[in-house]
Amino acid sequence: MLEKNILIAGLGLIGGSLARTIKSGHPNYHVAAYNRSQAPRDFAIQERIVDEVSDDFATLAVKADVIILNFPVQLSIQFLKILATLPLKENVLISDSGSTKLEIVTAAEEIFKDKAIRFIGGHPMAGSHKSGVIASDELLFENAYYILTTSTLSQPADVEELKEVLVNTRAKFIELTAKEHDAMTAVTSHFPHVVAASLVDNAHDFAAIMPFTENLAAGGFRDMTRIAESSPDMWTEILMSNSDHIVYQIDQFSQKLADVKQLILQRQSAEIWNFFDNARKLRAQMP
């Protein structure tokens, strides 16, 4: 197996987890990590997650065959701009792990338009409400979808090369355009986070009137709001990055709530039964 120099930039939950899987899947690869603060760097060396750490991004980047950026999306775009100024290896392959894809893919196509740099957007669709390298987990991505976004900066062979680097994630790789990715994840991930946070907020507001309310938050409420404990930094960024699709979902959902409200006001119990029965059948059929 060919040896490679891998640079994991950003040793948080996702960067740390990717570093673990790449190193265990390819013991002969040299896995280096950039992180600005020292504690995660020390942790990654002590835990043998990586072979080398530094706070000097440029020095690691010029030695790398594969670079994976694991920052908030806007920061990853800043790092793409830095990469464009560096004397990188000729065949370097760059990817990221951000939760939205159109912004970064568009930025990469612009930043690297006159350069022979290969870029493939990536989104491992597994995570946790925990953050930081301490929470990183080699099994985090197992059986999860790992979306790779095609662009003008990559060929099918490049995607295969990246999959081979990431083989030990044991994720299910799929290729989508950045637009497809952002539209679908708005429905299944981004908008549900808005709903979860709103449900918690709503219960808290009502507890001002009836203080015991929150004590009655049992299984259903807890299942639906677990993701409300996620990082506010990350979710603010996602809403700013994928605004159009999320606003569209809010409009669609508001209409669905308005429709149910009308059924209740009009005492249409048969229609209400159909509404729940339809959802129950659809949920049971979901892949």
**CB 51 to ligand NAD: min, Å:** 18
242 binds ligand NAD (CB under 6 A): no
Cα-to-chain-centroid distance, residue 4: 25
At 185, which amino acid appears?
T
73 binds ligand NAD (CB under 6 A): yes
227 binds ligand NAD (CB under 6 A): no
Q: Among the candidate windows 68-76, 159-167, 178-186, 244-252, which touches ligand NAD by CB under 6 A?
A: 68-76
77 binds ligand NAD (CB under 6 A): no
Residues in 138-177 at the binding interface with ligand NAD, rule: CB under 6 A: none
128 binds ligand NAD (CB under 6 A): yes
| 21's tokens | 């899987």
How many other C-beta atoms can be found within 10 angstroms of the C-beta atom of residue 240?
13
Q: How far, CA to CA in Å, does 152 sit from each of 106, 149, 155, 207?
A: 10, 10, 8, 52
The footprint of ligand NAD on this chain (CB under 6 A) covers a number of residues equal to: 24
Q: Are 117 and 88 in contact (CB under 8 A)?
A: yes
Residues in 8-67 at the binding interface with ligand NAD, rule: CB under 6 A: 10-15, 35-37
Q: Which residues of 162-194 are buried (b: 16+ CB within 10 A; e: fewer)?
A: bbebbebbebebeebebebbbbebbeebbbebb
**CB 129 to ligand NAD: min, Å:** 7
**CB 259 to ligand NAD: min, Å:** 32
| Nearest alpha-carbon partner for 68 in 98, 41, 46 | 98
**CB 146 to ligand NAD: min, Å:** 10
> Which of 45, 75, 207, 250 contacts ligand NAD by CB under 6 A?
75
- Report how far residue 8's alpha carbon sits from residue 49's, in angstroms, rounded to the nearest whole number: 11
> Which of 43, 53, 68, 124 contacts ligand NAD by CB under 6 A?
124
> Which of 70, 150, 185, 225 contacts ligand NAD by CB under 6 A?
70
Q: Are 195 and 226 in contact (CB under 8 A)?
A: no
| Nearest alpha-carbon partner for 108 in 144, 146, 67 | 67
Q: Among the candidate windows 5-13, 45-53, 197-205, 242-250, which touches ligand NAD by CB under 6 A?
A: 5-13
DSSP line for 174-190: EEEEHHHHHHHHIIIII
> Which of 54, 74, 131, 213 contacts ligand NAD by CB under 6 A?
131
Q: Pick between residue 137 and residue 164 the one whose CB is nearest to ligand NAD.
A: 137
Give the β-pairing of 66-69 and 5-9: parallel
Residues in 81-110 at the binding interface with ligand NAD, rule: CB under 6 A: 97-99
- Provide the binding-site residues for ligand NAD, judged by CB under 6 A: 10-15, 35-37, 70-73, 75, 97-99, 123-124, 127-128, 131-132, 234
